[in-house]
Structure 1
């Protein structure tokens, strides 16, 4: 059993706890949608009841995603690397960086020198990794898109990283 797997008993307890937490939410959502009392939820057709449960799971799913991102950002703020975040989630370092792009501050994590770039309503941070002598960028464009240097190769100079970051910011500007 890998550290990410849970035992059958833990699985049963988790499912039971989640269903116990979900039922009041499903009843409340159904009551608001139909105008019926919450205690009448189970008196409806099986299709209506299960659709109410499905809608409640969608709400729970959105909240779990928010809490997951908060946990990753908190771990990153305490110094966790993308490699560590990925290991905890069962994905690669690159997958973790893509899933939680703001979780790890490369400059803070490596003690690297940095710079910044603001262009077309977006912003990018340029960082230098002294151990690899490469420059990297990460940024958020005006349209909300997150971008970063491709893979681990980085760029030979700060100017090259800034040029790539600038091209990204310009490509994702908001047009009015």
Structure 2
């Protein structure tokens, strides 16, 4: 069963890369994607096409044959340029997030259908160099209390800061080897410092 936000290990699970990360498309799904994209591009091209705008000013719907005119296809090409720009921006963002969560350049390249060398050239900042990786704090709520799991880059170790439901506060030293160990320690602290009658189970 997949974890929910109520589970103490939810954020640790979110920050753990699954392998494989995806399944291949069914051919019918790709046909559907093609149809959706074509419909969207045609709609935008019709909007900016000077020829179609002229028809609409005359109170007419552009005839179907307009779509084969060279100037209309130039409008299509212009739309596709914008689509490509958006795709490239989204791809760069996805690659950076995946890379900072532990995905390697071979994995990024495989997802995009290119070699790892090409992936490194395409997204040079996606995968942090060893020793420069950054980790977002992992929030934790359990047994009525809250905590945040942090990584100390200098010590290359994990630590936590926690507030129990009974008001007890703790900030440990960076002594945990993994985020899982730090999360387990923070969870134990929160369980030990619940209000009477409060349980995380």
The change in CA–CA distance for 1:93 and 1:4 in structure 2 (over 3 A counts) is: farther
CA distance in 2: counterparts of 1:9 and 1:92, whole angstroms: 27
- 1:22·1:57 contact (CA, 8 Å) conserved in 2? yes
Q: Which residue of 2 aligns with 1:21?
A: 40
1:57–1:82 distance in 2 versus 1, CA, 3 Å: same
Q: Deviations over 1:3-27 (max 9, x none)?
A: 8864431221111110122122112
Give the TM-score normalised by the residue count of structure 2: 0.45
Q: Deviations over 1:70-112 (max 9, x none)?
A: 11011112222212212222222222111101111103349xx
Alignment TM-score, normalising by the size of structure 1 = 0.50
- The residue that corresponds to 2:83 in the other structure is 60
Q: Find the structure with the greater CA-based Rg.
A: 2
Structure 1 residue 92 corresponds to structure 2 residue 115: yes
Structure 2: gaps (5+ residues)? 1-21, 135-201
CA shift in 2, pair 1:79/1:108, >3 Å: farther
Correspondence for 1:48: 71
Corresponding residue to 1:8 among 13, 16, 27: 27
RMSD: 2.9
Q: How does 1:118-129 map to 2 (within 5 A)?
A: none
Higher helix share: 1
- 1:69, 1:100 within 8 Å by CA — same for their partners in 2? yes
